[in-house]
Structure 1
């Protein structure tokens, strides 16, 4: 019963307490590790940069795997508590909703500030509709990255799966860019993140189906701009009936998104979270019964 109990308590921890302090947050540790390699590795050539980035990424992944095994060497009571804590650190339900909720601001400069905290694009001159779109897009995309994927890999591989996924996703977020500095150094991490998100991104789309199956599938088929991240964005656009657009990359049609649509997106989000938690609990319960 430990896997299902650990899962249940980790979910409660997240919903009640939210994120642990940065000082003791494994995701922050992963970020600091790759940041160290990024800072001290001098770019040389495409081949050497790729090898250097792959080595740095594998070091962070190995650290995440070792951290996931730590509870096995500790006293039973402490092992259980640490396992709950580490699993909780691999996903973020409450904080994602809070960050997106903070973007619902009548003052457009205030909204720009909060949107800039959750997206990588420059929003200094972005209009209101595109700010609303960016907030909703970030919410949709992060349903996969922050919740569905880490728990999917927990179901498959236990705590190691969840923490290793979180490490890889953190690597991608920090060095997985197609610019001069990271194109080769971050390529290994970016491709690995693409691979691990392939199934979870489509599970996320599946969770949208009860709202409007026909429209969600129609928009999903149009999502050919990126391998994974545009799939849940397309599904959210279909459900809300609003256009979601990253200029120059993708656009899903609908009416202009408003602040109220961010609120609607958050309501959809909590329903999806409920669906996914229920599905995970059923799968874990079946594993107990069949073992």
Structure 2
């Protein structure tokens, strides 16, 4: 039952307090370590860049693993406090809601500014429906990356699984771009993130079934643009009945998304989160995963 206690306290922390201070956040540490190497390494050739990027990824993963096992080497009750702190750092329920909720505004420029904080695409020329779409897409994709996936790996491998996943997902967000600088340097991180998200992305799709029924599967079959990231976006589009589009990459059918649809998406988000929390709690309470026992 210890894993259930750690999970319950981490979730309570998230809902009541949100994210830890920036300088004390493990995800920020992962990013600083990767960014330091990225900044200092001068690109040379595809093979050397790939090797350097692989070493960077492995160093960050090793750092995350070492952090995750610290609770096993400290006395009670510090071991519990560290475990709760690190597990909380691996997922983000409240902050994801808060970031997306800021995009609900009638002022297009304020909306543009808020959307630019949660997506990597250039939003400077997006019209209001595409800004709304970007906000909903970010919510749907990060529901997998920031909630379902880290806790999926917590179930499988305990705290090391959750924190290592978070490190790899951070690496992908920083280095996993198809451009001249990161095409080879970020390839290891991007492909590893693809592998780790393959099952969670499809599990996230299943969590939408009570809300969208067979329409979920119909939209899922339309999601052929990306390995993982477009799957949760497609089924959010199915449930809301709005089009979601990243110009030049994908588009799922429906009517134009409006402010009220972002509000609806947030309600859907909380329902899916609640489903996932119930499933996790039952699995942990019945000790289906003995690897989590101390």
Fold conserved between structures, TM > 0.5: yes
- Equivalent residue, structure 1, for 2:254: 254
- Equivalent residue, structure 2, for 1:216: 216
Cα deviations across residues 196-240 of structure 1 (Å, max 9, x unaligned)? Answer: 000000010000000121101000011000000000000000000
Cα deviations across residues 121-173 of structure 1 (Å, max 9, x unaligned)? Answer: 00111100000000000000000000000000000000000000000000000
- Equivalent residue, structure 2, for 1:29: 29
1:137 equivalenced with 2:137 (yes/no) = yes
Structure 2: which 5+ runs fail to align? none
- Equivalent residue, structure 1, for 2:206: 206
Cα deviations across residues 21-73 of structure 1 (Å, max 9, x unaligned)? Answer: 01100000000000001000010000000000000110000000000011111
- Equivalent residue, structure 2, for 1:67: 67
Deviation at 1:287, TM superposition (A): 1.2
Distance 2:106 2:210 in 1: 32
User: Once superposed, which parts of structure 1, at least 4 consecutive aligned residues long, lie more than 2 Å away?
Assistant: 288-291
- Equivalent residue, structure 2, for 1:188: 188
Inter-CA distance 159–261: structure 2 relative to 1 (3 Å threshold): same
User: What are the residue-to-residue correspondences of 1:140-159 with 2, within 5 Å?
Assistant: 140-159=140-159
Deviation at 1:19, TM superposition (A): 0.2
- Equivalent residue, structure 2, for 1:175: 175
SS at the partner of 1:130? helix
Query: TM-score by structure 2 length?
Result: 0.98
Question: Contact (CA 8 Å) 2:153, 2:161: kept in 1 or not?
Answer: yes
User: What are the residue-to-residue correspondences of 1:206-245 with 2, within 5 Å?
Assistant: 206-245=206-245
- Equivalent residue, structure 1, for 2:98: 98
Question: Contact (CA 8 Å) 2:209, 2:216: kept in 1 or not?
Answer: yes
Q: CA RMSD in A?
A: 1.0
SS at the partner of 1:245? strand
- Equivalent residue, structure 2, for 1:17: 17
SS at the partner of 2:245? strand
Cα deviations across residues 221-265 of structure 1 (Å, max 9, x unaligned)? Answer: 110000000000000000000000000000000001000000000
- Equivalent residue, structure 1, for 2:166: 166
Deviation at 1:289, TM superposition (A): 9.6
Distance 2:36 2:234 in 1: 36
- Equivalent residue, structure 1, for 2:79: 79
Question: Contact (CA 8 Å) 2:150, 2:163: kept in 1 or not?
Answer: yes
Query: TM-score by structure 1 length?
Result: 0.99
Question: Contact (CA 8 Å) 2:140, 2:233: kept in 1 or not?
Answer: yes
User: What are the residue-to-residue correspondences of 1:35-50 with 2, within 5 Å?
Assistant: 35-50=35-50
Structure 1: which 5+ runs fail to align? none
